[in-house]
Amino acid sequence: MARTQGASSTKTNIEEQLEMARKKLLDLTLRNRLINYRPAKARAIRIIDEVCAEVYNILVLKERVMEFHANQREVKQDQDEEDQMSLLDEVDKSLTEEESSLLWKMPSSDMQVETRHTDRYLQTTLDSASLYKRLFYLNQQSRSVFEEQGYTVMYLALGFLGWTESADSDQVRRAPLILVPVELDRQHVGKTFKLSWTSEDIFTNVSLQAKLKEQGIELPEFEMPEDKSDIDAYFHSVSKAIKKMKKWHVTTDIYLDFFSFTKFVMYKDLDPDAWPKGMSPADHQLIKDILDPCEVEVDGGEFSEDEVDLKLQAKETYHIMDADPSQIAVIEDVKRGRNLVAEGPPGTGKSQTITNAIAELLAAGKSVLFVSEKMAALEVVKRRLDEAGIGNFCLELHSRKSNKKEVLKELEKTLRRTAPRMTPLSSKFSQLETLKTELNDYAKALRMPIGEIGYSPFDLYCMKETANRHFEDINRTMAKVKIENSKSHSQKDLDNVISVLSDLAELLPLVHPITSNPWTGCKPGTILPSDEDEIESLISGCKDALNNLEAKISALVDASAIKRPSKIEDISVAIGAAKVIAASKPVDKDVLLNSEWNKPSKGAEELIGKVEDLQARLSDAHVKFKEKTLEKDIASIVEEYKVLSAKLFRFFNGRYRYLKREIHSYYTGQAAKDNHSIITDLEELAECQKLRGDIAGTDNAGKALFGSFWNGEKSDCSMLKAFSSWVVSFRQELLSKALTDRAIEVVSAGASQEFVENACNELDTAKSRFIEARNRLSGRIGIDYEEVFGVSEDKVDFEAFKAKLLLWSNELPKLQRWSQYVYLRDECLKSSAAPMIELIESDKIESGDVVPCFKGNFADSLIGVAFSERPVLLKFVGTVHEGKIKNFAELDRDLILENRKRLAYKLYENQPRIVGGVSPGSEAGILVGEFSRKRGHMPIRKLMSLAGSFIQKIKPCFMMSPLSIAQFLDPKTARFDVIVFDEASQVKPEDALGALLRGNQAVVMGDTRQLPPTSFFDYIGAEEENLEEISASVTDVESLHQCKRSFPTKMLRWHYRSRHESLIAVSNREFYDNDLLIYPSAIDRDDDLGLHLVHIPDSVYDRGKVR
């Protein structure tokens, strides 16, 4: 329950942070028409002489369409709505507070509504021509926006709030209260436009809500009402909320217009309802990792820079540009599916790394979404991919690159391009690997110290010789053991191991021989002399519990004839068998011995079924017929009656009339009227007589199976079924030897259910007490049952356990020394001295030989490493080595160029082909249809929604900005394997969420040391008023960045850009902790090169000024 609540709380926290991020996409300035509304002269349509509640009722509650009614009266065209609104402001200024309150008083919701307010026509201020033009414009523009960007911009605003920015302000601004998303439609040209609700959720003005909070006003939340009267109730609730604000009022004006947030498409994109079922943003793994990071065990699979030449082969990589070890380490982690933050200080090749990473991901068949807020970063990477011949497989959808025709042209061109040429490279790959191996082997051999300890081979030989001399002096042979990981030992590690082995050697005579020590197999921890009384008490308690357990076992054996259990695991079986005896009833021995009951008996089931059938038939027969009717020969009567009743002149036949009277006398009431029913009744009665005879003939079989429980047709079927189930259990327990043969006697004589069940309960209680006592003792002295008894704890024989308890009680004084030995042994097992323990515990080594034996074997192990690594030193020739370096560099450059062709060919092969005709409704068909169009192409968002999967196969890499992602990629269809962010510090946190939600893996490239401060790495979702309520608040992380907390971080460490190292030296020291590797300048000291400190003694820092 606690875990469920914790998971729920975590999800709620994430949802809160996502919602706060969404709010940052709202524009709360007065430029926002949702806050400061002024009708657009050429677009807005003011609805007059209508009631908000009635309009809501027709459009939403009844889900009907409405039409517009032009104003037939002459209206001055220059008196537009803006002039009217200004006039209202002036009127409001001239009124007293009381007059203003009366003027803007809301009508009562129960007032009678005139008929014109309940029809389907909306009255407007416009003449017919003006109205038609505006509707046409609204329809065209709203549809275009929806198809291009995927969200509704046309709303019917119901009710407005007049508000001021401050108590002293005279300017009353207006903001819509209820926004009903609507759409216009007409059957064809010349028909009237009809307005309908889009069925989207109806919400109040969220921008206004946020804005009013600045003045302490809580605008009531609008929840879609089920009754039209609730609309007026909502307006009243708003009026109540603003009651204390002077000059504020609510009006029931209605306008049809466009309303949109700045970046509202991104705000909508983060709406949980916009995402497919089961894929809520709060449930997305990347979002959870970022907003609610938790500690995870490091799996050790991180790729290290030092492993580049060890783990990678040229033929397995698709680098299309040069890459240094830090870049390769990033690329390899990305290839392995890791979420990663790559810190890229200036000049370390971020774009170069991204280019190579995209190439590797595409080669692996993955789809990539490359995201950058800066168009320049997108263009740099695209240019590099183009230069490498891979740009054809990338689709740019940002700024000028999102032109529909250009996108289609690019897709068509990619589909129709010819296959690139491919040349065999296996020979070059082989040459490169051979040269790399030879050069690396020589480089390793030059590192004279062996392993982390830094000993030379000479030092190791001295150590080994000292150990050999020790064993020669005592005329013994040094045992051979394998020391693991000797190469990774430091001097401190070796000193610690020798120290522990020395202590162990001194203690060894006190516990020797190990194999026969009474406490072998126990790990008691720290034991003091004062602890012996406690352990003695535990041993005694365990003895008593075991004796009590055996007594309860004996009692149950006597009562139920079970096989005597000899260990804990047998007790459950014994109790189960005893409960079978407890459930028994006295029955003949022959029945209990009947092998038919070794498994469920089909014969018994058939007998019970016949009896149940007969009893049911008899019950029905007694309702229709008299009791004595069953004594008649019904079968003969019904056959004769069937023949006679079929004759034409049967009524003149005396025998027929006699039989009919006879049959009528059988019925308890009135007989059936027609012959067919009479014959059916008689046939059922005859069948009942036949079944009764069959059951009577199986009497012997019934007694053999059920004994005294069998009573023919009068048997108790429920009793027979219960007995059948029980006796099978009994036979199975008997056959499995869980019951002894005496159980037959016990059951036939009648077992006492109460007595047996009490004995079972007492045994179970005794078992629990013994286990508790045993576990207390085991927990205190650390018994390893496999080592002490050779079996698990529940399989230990009671007699063996009793003998061991006696031994431990007698040898208790030896336990303290044993505990000291165990501690030192465990310390050895944690170290490289672990192989020595096997020698010690098998009594194959003397105490004085322990340390010399380890030193000798350690030296042997490290010398073996040196020999295996350094034979290349014997073959070194300087001129040959220089030639290998030159050949390797040339071959590496050639293979980068060949990799570009190899990758282009592979991606071409993976592309879909359109050969022949395609189904018009398929993704390929939709795309081909768009290719053939000259104009009227569908919007990119719609195209991506309908054919996105096919397009991703053509262009597996998309290059987009955060805004274009929300514009063109439908949350329900667009998915990518990897999301790559470049210049992440330039991406606002709320802008990045949409991209992350569309991917399975995130790679974040950037530099936390660069401006602006609102970087991608900053904590997402913090607000000043509730920082302390969020589990991972900004206060908690301070200067740490959320992505770096959530994902592993790697740094691009090689700086290439600066021609002189002094240009980056200051930044490297002050910002990057000197982690950057800088190539030395050819000219180190020169007055004309590099960065120099020039001290100006009279200078001042004039902060914030222009000087």
Cα separation of 963 and 944, whole Å?
Answer: 16
Nearest to 1003, CA basis, from 379, 297, 325, 368: 368
Residue 1102 contacts by C-beta under 8 Å, 6 or more apart in sequence?
Answer: none
Give me the pLDDT at residue 402, please.
Answer: 62
Cα separation of 338 and 315, whole Å?
Answer: 22
- Name residue 305's amino acid: E
Cα separation of 784 and 792, whole Å?
Answer: 9
H helix intervals, 523-587? 532-560, 568-582
- Name residue 853's amino acid: C
Give me the pLDDT at residue 718, please.
Answer: 83
Tokens representing 564? 């005597």
Give me the pLDDT at residue 193, please.
Answer: 92
> Helices 940-954 and 404-416: crossing angle, nearest 10°?
20
The CATH class of 281-398+945-1055 is alpha beta
Dihedral sign for Cα atoms in the order 645, 646, 647, 651: positive
Residue 999, beta-bridge partner list = 976
Residues of the chain falling short of pLDDT 70: 1-8, 72-114, 146-151, 200-201, 203, 261-265, 295-300, 399-403, 443-447, 457, 873-876, 935-936, 1011-1042, 1059, 1079-1090, 1102-1107
Tokens representing 309? 């030449």
H/E stretch holding 1082: none
* DSSP 3-state percent helix, strand, coil across the chain (nearest 5): 55, 10, 35
Tokens representing 214? 């600045």
Specify the long-range contacts of residues 381-386, CB closer than 8 Å, at least 24 apart. 381/351, 381/354, 381/355, 381/959, 381/982, 382/959, 384/321, 384/351, 384/352, 384/355, 385/320, 385/355, 385/358, 385/359, 385/957
Number of Cβ within 10 Å of residue 832's Cβ equals 21
Give me the pLDDT at residue 209, please.
Answer: 84
Give me the pLDDT at residue 111, please.
Answer: 41
CA 658 to chain centre: 85
- Tally the C-alpha atoms within 13 A of residue 893's C-alpha that lie toward its C-beta: 5
Per-position DSSP letters for 711-754, written without gaps between them = -GGG--HHHHHHHHHHHHHHHHHHHTTSB-THHHHHHHH---HH
Tokens representing 599? 């498994």
Query: CB of 395 within 8 A of CB of 411?
Result: yes
Give me the pLDDT at residue 646, please.
Answer: 74
Domains of the chain by residue range: 26-262, 281-398+945-1055, 529-580+753-810, 585-749
CA distances from 116 to 45, 66, 113, 253, 1104 (A): 19, 13, 8, 17, 65
Give me the pLDDT at residue 957, please.
Answer: 95
**Residue in the structure block whose two tokens are 């329900």:** 972
Give me the pLDDT at residue 334, please.
Answer: 93
Nearest to 975, CA basis, from 216, 78, 284: 284
In the chain, count H helices and then E strands: 41, 17
Scored b (16 or more CB within 10 A) or e, 155-182 reads: bbbbbbbbbbeeeeeeebbbbbbbbbbb
Nearest to 854, CA basis, from 868, 869, 840, 871: 840
CA distances from 38 to 33, 162, 968, 1072 (A): 7, 12, 30, 53
Residue 369, beta-bridge partner list = 958, 979
Cα separation of 314 and 319, whole Å?
Answer: 9
Tokens representing 849? 């030989």
Cα separation of 597 and 604, whole Å?
Answer: 9
CA distances from 1033 to 183, 423, 738 (A): 42, 56, 63
Cα separation of 575 and 581, whole Å?
Answer: 10
Give me the pLDDT at residue 352, please.
Answer: 92
